[in-house]
């Protein structure tokens, strides 16, 4: 199918993406207020709905502030495009070359937190829709863009939507990779609670689903810790009062591509400071990203091996907490993993507490939805790559017959959850073209 994306669509989409990035939509509340997740997210939701109005859609905002949506078309069937507007924190601002919440274009890339995850893909799908309308296609199904506000944390937004609103007949989530993701690992997030310490105070990590890029220690054993880190070959910066272990931040679903600064710091601290929480991290996890010491080799033929990430660590006078994010293969037994983790943790004086769990999804490759989307992608790109599985947890799990479809291309550099996150604009325009054709196939008369 010939592209219907014009220069006008591209330029308008670039301006719209900047409008979303310029709202710092980081979760700053606990879900019990109104707005439930802070003003930044609330304002970003209003901005997204305003963009939809400008594109000719009717809009609705949940009075409690958990979600919004925009509709177009007629028919009994509903095609959903589920996007999220919240973003992870910017992290260490000294690592950014631009302000993470001021959209900046340089060398064809728009930089800013959320540009890849998920504001760029959201805009690509919206302006793909706009191109379909402008080209004169008639919709025989309704299309609904659903905007979630809590995807990076607990998905309370979609729980609220599903209690009150219509379910989709089919659809896609522009928050994954091309060609598409037909299976997603289970997402299990837990906390290990242990004793506090009057001698050590630690607070590291930004979010459970981010591999921490740095972890700091200041205390009486500074020289011993630096000696241990040096012997272990662990990279760190130091001053007279503090040591900062340097890692590499990536999304927890691909933890093997990063370096976990919390675990590395624990390896240097544990021999110098007697504390069961640090000993657990050093002995049971260390540099592993698959939980092999804890569980053995956990893997299946559909979705690969388990992914294990320590995203948060807090040690105070009163208690200690380890925050863990696991991506579980679709055929694995979650309860068996919980039982084994609790057993090992108990031997270190730690108590296991489940924080969040989202079951795996698996949509057969032979389904009509997958075959339609795969056909569109292959015709547009010539890429015959097979559909894939993922450790990422997308909102495709929140309704039946949804899959993650782009907008990350196989050759794209993944910068989600990292400093200097940036969206290559030419790739956004290419995704826009693919989404336009997908919308035609799923929702229009042909």
- What would the pLDDT profile of 8-17 be if each residue is shown by its tens digit? 999 999 999 9
Using 50, 70 and 90 to split pLDDT, how confident is the model at 268? very high
In this structure, of 48-52, 191-195, 414-418, 420-424, the range with the lowest mean pLDDT score is 414-418
- Give the CA distances from residue 294 to residues 8, 190, 312, 343, in Å, rounded to whole numbers and listed in that order: 54, 14, 18, 10
Using 50, 70 and 90 to split pLDDT, how confident is the model at 419? very high
Using 50, 70 and 90 to split pLDDT, how confident is the model at 210? very high
Tell me what the mean pLDDT of segment 107-114 comes to.
98
Tell me what the mean pLDDT of segment 378-385 comes to.
97
Pairing, β 78-84 against β 170-173: parallel
Cα(183)–Cα(330) distance, rounded to whole angstroms? 8
- Give the CA distances from residue 58 to residues 53, 77, 145, 327, 366, in Å, rounded to whole numbers and listed in that order: 6, 17, 10, 37, 34
Query: pTM of the entire structure?
Result: 0.77
In this structure, of 184-188, 338-342, 375-379, 422-426, the range with the lowest mean pLDDT score is 184-188
The overall average pLDDT reported for the chain is 96
47 CA to centre of own chain = 21
Cα(309)–Cα(290) distance, rounded to whole angstroms? 8
Question: Which structural domains are found in the chain, ordered by start?
Answer: 7-185+361-443 (3.40.630.10), 186-358 (3.30.70.360)
Is the distance from CB of 305 to CB of 299 less than 8 angstroms?
A: yes
Using 50, 70 and 90 to split pLDDT, how confident is the model at 446? confident
- β-bridge mates for residue 192, sequence order: 322, 352
Tell me what the mean pLDDT of segment 24-53 comes to.
97
Cα(5)–Cα(125) distance, rounded to whole angstroms? 12
The per-residue pLDDT for 364 is 86
The per-residue pLDDT for 393 is 82
The per-residue pLDDT for 1 is 79
The helix (H) or strand (E) run that includes residue 156 is helix 156-164
Is the distance from CB of 182 to CB of 389 less than 8 angstroms?
A: yes
Tell me what the mean pLDDT of segment 212-236 comes to.
96
**Could you tell me where the DSSP H helices lie in 274-366?**
276-280, 292-295, 334-346
The per-residue pLDDT for 196 is 96
Is the distance from CB of 285 to CB of 242 less than 8 angstroms?
A: no
The per-residue pLDDT for 392 is 78
How many residues are recorded in the chain? 446
Q: Model confidence over 140-189: pLDDT tens digits? A: 999 999 999 999 988 999 999 999 999 999 999 999 999 999 999 999 99
The per-residue pLDDT for 388 is 92
Tell me what the mean pLDDT of segment 130-139 comes to.
98
């Amino acid at each position: 199918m010939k592209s219907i994306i014009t220069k006008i669509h591209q330029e308008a989409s670039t301006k719209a993406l900047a409008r979303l990035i310029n709202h710092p939509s980081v979760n700053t509340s606990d879900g019990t207020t109104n707005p439930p997740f802070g003003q930044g997210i609330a304002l970003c939701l209003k901005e997204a709905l305003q963009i939809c109005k400008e594109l000719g859609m009717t809009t609705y905002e949940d009075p409690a502030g958990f979600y919004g949506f925009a509709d177009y078309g007629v028919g009994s069937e509903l095609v959903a495009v589920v996007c999220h507007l919240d973003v992870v924190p910017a992290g260490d601002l000294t690592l950014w070359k631009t302000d993470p919440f001021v959209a900046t274009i340089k060398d064809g890339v728009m930089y800013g937190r959320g540009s890849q995850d998920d504001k760029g893909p959201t805009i690509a799908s919206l302006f793909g829709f706009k191109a379909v309308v402008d080209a004169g296609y008639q919709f025989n199904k309704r299309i609904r863009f659903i905007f979630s506000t809590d995807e990076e944390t607990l998905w309370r937004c979609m729980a609220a939507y599903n209690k009150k609103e219509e379910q989709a007949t089919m659809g896609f989530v522009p928050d994954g990779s091309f060609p598409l993701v037909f299976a997603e690992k289970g997402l299990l997030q837990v906390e290990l609670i242990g004793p506090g310490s009057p001698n050590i105070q630690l607070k590291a990590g930004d979010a459970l689903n981010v591999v921490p890029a740095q972890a700091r220690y200041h205390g009486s054993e500074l020289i011993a810790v630096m000696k241990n880190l040096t012997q272990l070959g662990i990279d760190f910066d130091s001053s007279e009062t503090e040591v900062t272990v340097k890692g590499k931040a990536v999304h927890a679903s691909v933890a093997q591509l990063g370096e976990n600064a919390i675990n590395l710091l624990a390896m240097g601290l544990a021999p110098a400071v007697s504390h069961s929480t640090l000993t657990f991290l050093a002995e049971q996890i260390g540099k592993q990203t698959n939980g092999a010491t804890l569980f053995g080799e956990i893997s299946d033929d559909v979705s690969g091996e388990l992914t294990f990430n320590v995203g948060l660590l807090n040690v105070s006078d009163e208690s200690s907490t380890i925050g863990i994010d696991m991506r579980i293969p679709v055929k694995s037994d979650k309860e068996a993993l919980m039982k084994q983790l609790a057993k090992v943790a108990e031997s270190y004086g730690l108590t296991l507490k489940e924080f969040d769990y989202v079951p795996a999804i698996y949509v057969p490759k032979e389904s009509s939805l997958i075959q339609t989307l795969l056909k569109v992608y292959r015709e547009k790109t010539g890429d015959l790559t097979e559909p894939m599985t993922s450790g990422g947890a997308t909102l495709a799990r929140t309704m039946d017959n949804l899959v993650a479809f782009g907008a990350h291309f196989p050759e794209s550099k993944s910068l989600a959850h990292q400093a200097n996150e940036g969206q290559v604009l030419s790739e956004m325009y290419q995704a826009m073209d693919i989404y336009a054709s997908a919308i035609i196939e799923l929702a229009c008369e042909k």
